[in-house]
Amino acid sequence: MYPSGFYRDKNNELNVQGIKLDSLAEKYGSPLFIYDTGLMKERYEIFQNTVKNVKGNIHYAVKANDSVNIIKFFGKLGAGADIVSIGEFHKCIAAGITPDKIIFSGVGKDKNEIEIAIRNKILQFNIESEEELYDIYEIASKLKITANICLRINPDIAPNTHKKISTGEKETKFGIDNEDIFSIYEKLHKLQYINPVGLGVHIGSQIFDFNFFHKAYSNLKTVADKLKNNGFKVPTLDLGGGIGIYYDENKNPDFETYKKVISDLFLGSEYKLSFEPGRILIAEAGVLVTKVIRNKKNKDKNFIIIDAAMNNLIRPTLYDAYHRIEPVKKISGKKIIADIVGPICETGDFIALNRKITKVNNNDLLIIRTTGAYSSVMKSNYNARVDAVEILIYNGNSYKLKKTDNILDIISKEKIIEFI
């Protein structure tokens, strides 16, 4: 048995499930995303145990990483899915997730997406406005198929996370104002082909102060209890996701405190609880292997130019995100302060700024850790750059997850116009 995750062997070289990372880079090239099913399974089982005492159902947040095989792997472990587009729905179906385990969230479901979801009888819609409700009602009535509806509350809570991933404040586009929930939930009960199934909340991602979860969930429960006391059925509460993980150190997420929060509020409750973890299940199970193209020095500034770029990993550019970076083969030598940058023609194309790192040579391999979530899934072909290869490590073997287009494949998708 090998340790889960990415570990160093007796020669100080990085491995995954007994396979050296440099051999994988030699086989598949770089940049290269590698996902470890061992750590994926470990994280899933820890989260499953965390919500077990409140009988929570897990719906993997597909937006974190929408690889069909990754969705399928979590599905085999028992997860349903939380989706935010009909494209993600089709990926889930391809992965073997049945529609009755799929929750459709997001503010911008169009009528075509809604119709496909209703025809396939998904588990529920998490809706974000009264206007969305009437779109669903119109289509459900036309099809004569009942749609299950959960109202997402906006509790106006700022959970002390990055502004771009904070979703529980009134100024954001997400959810329905607390004060409007009662009247809209009452309307649900008057509409044919609409089945009210509960309330939900999701206040953001990368939350480390669990008092914010307690506040949001307590508010959710208070509103649900009030509805029930007024004779409405509220069987389900969707608690979303958002538990923070550590990008800057090798430290486990705080599952125990989260377990205490949900147990304090819901242990012995009649509510059926749903959870939507994404990042916490897959982020640490992924790394990005990249090769040093060259070193460059401008006066007192050092640059390590690598073959991975913002088109592969945009989180540092978009969120000023931190990722640990280290050589695949442990090397000794002088430490330098350097910007680790890609080849794209943007000053914002960086993976790390002013990072202390052992001086590396051209063609050395580096790994960028914790890139399993919100990394490859946010890729682009900017500067006509091709996608990084993605592989999954399962039972000591490597599997390429998808066909990677070369530049001629990308060009072939364009229709060439004959100009006179």
Q: How far apart are CA 70 and CA 40, in angstroms?
A: 9
Report yes or no: 102 and 83 within 8 Å, Cβ to Cβ: yes
Q: How far apart are the first and last CA of the chain?
A: 66
Catalytic residues: 345
The label of the residue with tokens 């302060």 reads: 337
**Which residues 6+ apart lie within 8 Å of 2 measured at CB?**
15, 16, 17, 18, 38, 396
44: left (phi over 0), alpha (psi -120 to 50) or beta: alpha
Calculate Rg over the CA atoms of the chain: 23
Q: Which residues contact 9 (CB under 8 A, 6 or more apart)?
A: 15, 20
The letter for the amino acid at 8 is R
What's the CA gap between 80 and 72, in Å, rounded? 10
Q: Within 13 A of 231's CA, how many CA atoms are on the CB side?
A: 2
Find tokens 């609880």 and name the residue.
273
Under 8 Å between Cβ of 261 and 242:
no
Instruction: Kindly state the greatest CA–CA separation across the chain.
Output: 75
Tokens of 7: 């570990």
Nearest-10 Cα torsion for 318, 321, 323, 325? 70
Structure tokens at 18: 């007994």
